[in-house]
Amino acid sequence: MTTQRKSPAEVAAGLKLPPNVSFRRDPLPGGIAYVFRHAELGELGRLCVTGTASGETCVVTEIAGDEREAMFVQRRAILEPLSHEIVTALESIRGPSSTPPPPLAAKHSMPGGTIPVEEVRCDRCGALVALLVFAEDAIDPGRFEDVARQMYPHYAVTTAQTYIIGPEQGSMPANFRAAIMKVWPQREPITTFTPDQFRLHVTSLLTGHCR
């Protein structure tokens, strides 16, 4: 390579990242993906920087998750300016690109591994009342969001109250508890429940169903 243009890696290294945002590099065929993550929003998406045969650099922004999902807009609001910054930085070196940056593409990421889900059904009518997602990896807000994003296709087709349940905390039964986030059909903040409190809560959903 004899060009003087800044490499995408140099451009990425010079990015001014918003608070709580970090990124890692993943190799791609013919390029590299910069995968951005927010401490509270989880994975935001990635910028795929690839070279074309004619020597142009192509930057595609992929926002993580389903665009109908509640947090998609927030992920896009952080990722889009970063994408523009990279595109502008690359263009400032080699002049405007003859082709405009490709449009944003929503990325439908699949769960990395199996996340156990328990279905709670009404014992009278059999309706699905609740989905309990047991997410051992959900140890901070960002990872709760990762699970909410990954499981969206699963719960969004239901009317079931959906809860993401973090790992059990506590050293003995008397102080067992878990951080739990309701994500569907309305989102609620992460709340800590004891097993008894949560069992009571789920029971209350079943009591009075279809009667």
- Asked whether position 39 contacts Zn ion by CB under 5 A, the answer is no
Cβ 15 to Zn ion, closest distance in Å?
A: 52
Q: Which of 9, 28, 73, 125 binds Zn ion (CB under 5 A)?
A: 125
Taking CB under 5 A as the rule, which mask of x and - marks residues 151-190 in contact with Zn ion? ----------------------------------------
Give me the least distance between CB of 132 and Zn ion, in Å please: 17
- The candidate with the shortest Cα–Cα distance to 102, out of 66, 58, 44, 64, is 58
Question: Where do the H-state alpha helices sit in 95-188?
Answer: 141-155
- Give yes or no for residue 6 binding Zn ion (CB under 5 A): no
Within residues 63-122, the interface with Zn ion by CB under 5 A covers 122
Contacts of 84 (CB under 8 A, 6+ apart): none
Question: Which is nearest to 148 in space by CA: 137, 121, 81, 122?
Answer: 137
Residue 95 DSSP code: -
Contact footprint for Zn ion (CB under 5 A): 122, 124-125, 127, 209-210
